[in-house]
Amino acid sequence: MLQYAKKALPFVVVTVQLLAITLLVTGSDWLVYPLSDDPVVPLGTPLTWFLMAAFPYNFFWLMGRRPVQDLLWRGVRGLFGLAALLGLGWGFLAYALSGNWSYNFKSGNDNWDLFISYTTGLGILILAALLLWGVASLRLRWLYST
């Protein structure tokens, strides 16, 4: 049974990510549905946090667990690992900056700028890792085609 669960886990994670992306893009009312009353935690908070933390792990599953000797591939894994760690810390940082689990910032608060910078930087880091992965894949194909 455990063997099937390990094989199904990536599909479950990707399904939850697609659901989260769909809800975020459409601006669904479900995002503000409270999961708890005290403290108020809207559904969008854990969904977005899960998305930020789990998205880089998709690429670990795609790359496999084989050891990598190439420096470029180590860089790719390192960037995805850094993005995953920063994604895990994203929710805690957002709570520390906003003071609530709804991530409501007060107007004129400098913490909002820091939160947006962190979130944007995390997205750029993931895109940079994807770009480096593409370069590494093309380089690998070029090496084996000659």
55 is written with which tokens? Answer: 């998205």
The model carries a pTM of: 0.81
Listed in sequence order, the residues at least 6 apart from 56 whose beta carbon sits closer than 8 Å to its beta carbon are: 80, 81, 83, 84, 87, 126, 129
98-146 pLDDT per residue, tens: 988 888 888 667 899 999 999 999 999 999 988 988 888 787 667 667 6
Helix axis angle for 44-63 and 2-26, nearest 10°, is 130
3 is written with which tokens? Answer: 């063997």
